[in-house]
């Protein structure tokens, strides 16, 4: 028997292993649940028989085409059985099987089981064996899976591994742009964008990309101020130097613009209080906006302004009222 992707879904009627002449020499090994199983599982007869024969081949350490076939049958019954996947890899290596053909097989399984850890682990093993030549096809496959579910953690994790291990950075930022145009609330796409600008060998790193990325992010914030993802992304652009955003007027300006229209925007307020704590010298316009929100003394210092913003946050963000109460104590 071969190991083609179609072997498991053949057009012929399924024949129980006990009735297959080529398996006449195999003595099936039943599952041992011990003398007194707490909960005895009622397996289907076809599943039980396939697994009994699989256990026989596995116990014998057989590396043969029929052993490979049985792993495929067992996987179709239970795609999450890690022992079966592990044994399949051992047999694939022993038989020096065509790994591109195997990738086609596992892709079919993944399409029906998009969040199965064992399937994605097997794909990574194959991609690692195939090397950089597999990068394009793996990126295309994850695109396909993410088009179905944009938050599929397994697909994102695999895509990131392929980028870092096998390459394919050339169009990744454009892909992030596309995803965010489709859904600016896609936090997974924002996370991927950050990986690209900080890790791509083609873009020069975070420092080189910061200026243009700030403009991009500010635009996204102004379009949807209540979207948390770009606010967090904006903070991430200054990772490693928390005082740079104080000097960049675009950061305080976006807070001011948002608060003028929405004085209860938690994300703008929390970023603003961080800036004030780090020494931001507020403009008269910003002072006036805060004072009008909290009835502050016009001569209040920037530290007092930060305290005022904390007071506002305690009202706007009641779920974290204790946190903002504590934060106020750190302002001095």
Q: Give mean pLDDT, residues 291-300.
A: 63
At 220-244, the pLDDT tens digits run 999 999 999 999 999 999 988 878 9
CA distances from 308 to 245, 274, 275, 292 (A): 21, 12, 13, 11
Catalytic residues: 115
Instruction: Check residue 1 and give its pLDDT.
Output: 37
Is the torsion defined by CA of 14, 16, 19, 25 positive or negative?
positive
Supply angle C-alpha 156, 160, 165, rounded to 5. Answer: 150
Q: Which residue has the tokens 């009641």?
A: 318
Q: Give mean pLDDT, residues 19-36.
A: 86
> CB of 114 within 8 A of CB of 149?
yes
Instruction: Check residue 142 and give its pLDDT.
Output: 98
Instruction: Check residue 259 and give its pLDDT.
Output: 95
9 pLDDT tier (thresholds 50, 70, 90):
very low
Instruction: Check residue 182 and give its pLDDT.
Output: 95
Q: What is the domain partition of the chain in residue ranges?
A: 1-97, 261-332
| Number of Cβ within a 10 Å radius of residue 19 | 9
In this predicted model, which residue has the larger pLDDT, 290 or 105?
A: 105
Pairwise CA distance, residues 286 & 294, whole Å: 13
CA distances from 93 to 62, 101, 121, 133 (A): 12, 13, 16, 19
Candidates 263, 297, 255, 316; CA nearest to 280 is 255
Whether residue 109 has pLDDT greater than 60: yes
Instruction: Check residue 34 and give its pLDDT.
Output: 72
292 pLDDT tier (thresholds 50, 70, 90):
confident
> CB of 305 within 8 A of CB of 290?
yes
Instruction: Check residue 276 and give its pLDDT.
Output: 92
> CB of 104 within 8 A of CB of 137?
no
The mean pLDDT of the chain is: 91
B/e letters for 169-193, b = 16+ CB within 10 Å, e = fewer, are beebbebbeebbeeebebbbbbbbb
What secondary structure does DSSP assign to 51-106, as a single string? HHHHHHHHHHT--SHHHHHHHHHHHHH-TT-HHHHHHHHHHHHHHT--HHHHHHHH
3-state DSSP call for residue 166? helix
Whether residue 8 has pLDDT greater than 80: no
Q: Give mean pLDDT, residues 62-86.
A: 95
Whether residue 11 has pLDDT greater than 90: no
Q: Considering only CA atoms, give the Rg of the chain.
A: 29
Supply angle C-alpha 76, 80, 81, rounded to 5. Answer: 85
Instruction: Check residue 295 and give its pLDDT.
Output: 59
Q: Which residue has the tokens 């992010």?
A: 217
Instruction: Check residue 39 and give its pLDDT.
Output: 78
> CB of 110 within 8 A of CB of 124?
no
Pairwise CA distance, residues 144 & 149, whole Å: 9
Q: How much is the pTM? A: 0.87
Q: Give mean pLDDT, residues 33-51.
A: 82
Whether residue 99 has pLDDT greater than 80: yes
Pairwise CA distance, residues 108 & 112, whole Å: 7
At 193-223, the pLDDT tens digits run 999 999 999 999 999 999 999 999 999 999 9
Whether residue 3 has pLDDT greater than 70: no
302 pLDDT tier (thresholds 50, 70, 90):
low
Pairwise CA distance, residues 297 & 146, whole Å: 52
At 149-200, the pLDDT tens digits run 999 999 999 999 999 999 999 999 999 999 999 999 999 999 999 999 999 9
Whether residue 87 has pLDDT greater than 90: yes
Overall size of the chain counted in residues: 332
B/e letters for 277-288, b = 16+ CB within 10 Å, e = fewer, are beebebeeebbe
Instruction: Check residue 2 and give its pLDDT.
Output: 39
Instruction: Check residue 54 and give its pLDDT.
Output: 95
């Amino acid at each position: 028997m071969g190991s083609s992707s179609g072997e498991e879904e053949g057009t012929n009627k399924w024949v129980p292993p006990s009735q297959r002449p080529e398996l006449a020499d195999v003595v099936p090994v039943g599952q041992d649940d011990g003398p007194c199983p707490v909960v005895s599982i009622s397996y289907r007869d076809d599943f039980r028989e396939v697994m009994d024969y699989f256990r026989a081949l596995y116990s014998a350490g057989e590396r043969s085409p029929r052993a490979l076939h049985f792993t495929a049958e067992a996987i179709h019954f239970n795609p999450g059985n890690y022992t079966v996947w592990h044994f399949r890899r051992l047999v694939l290596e022993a038989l020096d099987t065509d790994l591109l053909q195997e990738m086609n097989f596992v892709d079919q399984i993944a399409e029906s089981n998009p969040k199965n850890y064992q399937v994605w682990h097997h794909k990574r093993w194959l991609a690692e064996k195939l090397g950089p030549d597999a990068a394009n096809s793996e990126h295309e496959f994850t695109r396909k899976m993410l088009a179905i579910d944009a938050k599929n953690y397994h697909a994102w994790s695999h895509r990131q591994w392929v980028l870092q291990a096998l390459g394919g950075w050339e169009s990744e930022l454009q892909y992030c742009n596309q995803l965010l145009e489709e859904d600016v609330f896609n936090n997974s796409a924002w996370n991927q964008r950050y990986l690209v600008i900080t890790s791509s060998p083609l873009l020069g790193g975070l420092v080189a990309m910061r200026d243009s990325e700030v403009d991009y992010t500010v635009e996204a914030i102004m379009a949807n101020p209540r979207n948390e993802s770009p606010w967090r992304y904006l903070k991430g652009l200054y990772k490693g130097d928390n005082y740079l955003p104080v000097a960049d007027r675009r950061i305080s300006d976006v807070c001011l613009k948002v608060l003028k229209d929405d004085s209860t925007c938690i994300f703008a307020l929390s970023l603003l209080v961080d800036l004030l704590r780090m020494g931001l010298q507020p403009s008269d316009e910003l002072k006036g906006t805060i004072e009008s929100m909290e009835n502050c003394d016009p001569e209040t210092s920037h530290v007092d302004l930060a305290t005022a913003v904390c007071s506002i946050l305690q009202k706007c963000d009641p779920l974290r009222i204790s946190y903002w109460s504590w934060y106020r104590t750190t302002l001095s």
